[in-house]
Structure 1
Amino acid sequence: MLSHIRRGSGAPLVLLHGLGSRKEVWQPVLDTLAARREVFAVDLPGFGASPPTNRTDMGSLIGAVEAFLDQQGLARVQLAGSSMGGGIALELARRGRADRVTAFAPVGFWSKAERIWTQRLLATSRGLGRLGGERLQAHAGSVALLPLFAAFYGKPGLTPPEQRRGDFAGLANSTGFDDAAASFADYEFRDAAELDSVPVTVVWGSRDVVLPYRTQSRRARVALPQARHVTLNGAGHLPFADDPFGCAYLTLN
């Protein structure tokens, strides 16, 4: 069973985090979402509080979420995913497990050079956290280290210090990171027609540099012409504290 937060009532909504992240990345919008939905925010295998499985590549993570849905008795649900979680959500929709998807900066719309950039940026950030150990992770919430988070948040100062500390520690300590990151080389979004029956919203922050906004949002619009595409001005790769109202609204509506 995947570690998860379950909160609220109503139609089920499953939240999926990105590479090196954790279920708490959704904290800035969790209360708002739970006021309208029964929310399941999960830690993927090898991330957050979920132990790793034998494999934590993209295909295995997709299978793990599908197994979680089965364990919860959820045939089709609304899915929202961030980055790698956005890609997983789209693939689960392809398998018939989603009645609606909101994908925040989903993976799979990259060029080879951009994919390598993403892998190296996240690996370098993780390496800094591991090299600095618990001392650096403990001080990740300080104002002096705000520039360190500019790659992830469009407005780092709006993200609570405890959130920054937890997100940084989660990245540094994720045991599933290497396997998942390596599997990006084999993943590209394809066959949009298979999602014609599923309402999809794709959201990008205009300051996203992890999956660069200008090029990848443009490719997403071409690859998924039937989807609703939205830009959150001033938001970063993790836009939930940058624009909590916008993120919640686009997930719920």
Structure 2
Amino acid sequence: MKRATLWPDDALPEHSCPPPWPGREVRLDGTVTYVRETPASGPGAEPALYVHGLGGSSQNWTDLAWLLADQLDGQAIDLPGFGRSEPGRRYTIPAFAERVIRWIEHSGRGSVHLFGNSLGGAISVQVAGLRPDLVRTLTLISPALPFLDFRRSLQGRMLPLLAIPRGERIAAWRLAQLAPEVMAQQVMEACVADMSRISEQRRQEALEEIRVRYEAAHYAAAYVRTFRGLVTSFLRSYLPGSGSLWRLAGTVRAPTLVVGGRHDRLVDVRVAPQTAQVIPDSRLLLLDGVGHVAQLEVPRLVARAVLGLLAETGDSARWSDMAG
């Protein structure tokens, strides 16, 4: 493990707040997967895939994908049951990883620079560990790798739901009690350390995403079942046998960037450094005053670290020309 290298800020586009990238529905294995695309703005850009966290969507990557578009031809998918994708049959880390692998194969772009936030980070570790041929580099932002002290997570309050048969019904009832505006504010406050960093445009987009959730009858069940699958993966990681995400992380060979916020309220703040210690070829960026979704809160800092990773692992002549 080593410290992440930050590429110069002036190598990035000037400050802007682009709208969400256009998306399309793709039928994959009998169900619809929704994908947003951030077309490359520079020659020679390489394929990238962005995977969101629990309760998120492909829209969480709007700013980072735009900042990296000169180097990366971006796609961001909605996982089954989230965003605008249809529900899935299983909501486990292996099932989600299988969908990501299928998407990479289906898209026909070859191996990708893979990005994952939170749940998406755990999924991306599974993909990189099982299919190293599909992953050029790996970027993990507040990855939800296993930890057992749920007092360190606001989501620990959801644990009783997992012991109740059809706990998703209670979650759906709770969802119906809150106005979308209130829910959007609560979600933002849980994920972001400094709300002043979030523009009014992004707040309105988050509100619209919440309204989409309210209209999706499957959403509450998808959320609860995914949380159950995540907790199950945590427990298995500390038991003998196969299925440990930590053991799988130790097999990852892709050059990896791990980003963590010191004010993360959803994933134990000790997880990001531990992840960087376990993955052999890793770089760590810990950010003071930043929460769970650094790609939303401080996208330029994250982009600079990603460009540092790409410069270190990519074509040296090309990056020397950029630096010059």
TM-score above 0.5: yes
Displacement after TM superposition at 1:204 (Å): 0.4
- Label 1:89 to 1:157 Cα distance change in 2 as closer, same or farther (>3 A): same
Aligned counterpart, 1:105: 142
One of 228, 234, 237 as aligned partner of 1:182: 228
Give, as a single letter, the amino acid of the residue that structure 1 aligns with 2:251: E
Structure 2 counterparts to residues 82-93 of structure 1, below 5 A: 82-93=117-128
Displacement after TM superposition at 1:170 (Å): 6.0
- Label 1:209 to 1:245 Cα distance change in 2 as closer, same or farther (>3 A): same
Task: Describe the SS at the equivalent of 2:296.
Answer: coil
One of 130, 135, 149 as aligned partner of 2:175: 130
| Mapped contact 1:8–1:36 kept (Cα < 8 A) | no
Aligned counterpart, 1:158: 197
Aligned counterpart, 1:149: 188
Give, as a single letter, the amino acid of the residue that structure 1 aligns with 2:39: G
Task: Describe the SS at the equivalent of 1:150.
Answer: helix
- Bigger radius of gyration: 2
Give, as a single letter, the amino acid of the residue that structure 1 aligns with 2:157: R
Structure 2 counterparts to residues 232-243 of structure 1, below 5 A: 232-243=287-298
Displacement after TM superposition at 1:53 (Å): 1.7
Structure 2 counterparts to residues 174-213 of structure 1, below 5 A: 174=219, 175-187=221-233, 188=237, 189-191=245-247, 192-195=249-252, 197-213=253-269
Task: Describe the SS at the equivalent of 2:85.
Answer: coil
Structure 2 counterparts to residues 27-42 of structure 1, below 5 A: 27-42=62-77
Task: Describe the SS at the equivalent of 2:258.
Answer: strand
Task: Describe the SS at the equivalent of 1:15.
Answer: strand
Q: 1-side partners of 2:213 and 2:152: how far apart?
A: 18
Displacement after TM superposition at 1:177 (Å): 1.4
**1:99-138 C-alpha deviation (Å, 9 max, x unpaired):** 11000011123125358853535989x76971335xx214
RMSD after superposition: 2.8
| Mapped contact 2:191–2:292 kept (Cα < 8 A) | yes
One of 84, 93, 111 as aligned partner of 1:76: 111
TM-score (norm 2): 0.67
Displacement after TM superposition at 1:150 (Å): 2.4
**1:36-81 C-alpha deviation (Å, 9 max, x unpaired):** 2110011011000000121122111111111111110133211011
Q: Is the deviation greater in 219-228 or in 198-207? A: 219-228
Q: 2-side partners of 1:198 and 1:40: how far apart?
A: 19
| Mapped contact 1:114–1:211 kept (Cα < 8 A) | no
- Label 1:226 to 1:11 Cα distance change in 2 as closer, same or farther (>3 A): closer
| Mapped contact 1:14–1:78 kept (Cα < 8 A) | yes
**1:206-250 C-alpha deviation (Å, 9 max, x unpaired):** 11010021x323432443354111112211101223211012222
Give, as a single letter, the amino acid of the residue that structure 1 aligns with 2:192: Y
| Mapped contact 2:251–2:279 kept (Cα < 8 A) | no
Task: Describe the SS at the equivalent of 1:101.
Answer: strand
Displacement after TM superposition at 1:168 (Å): 4.2
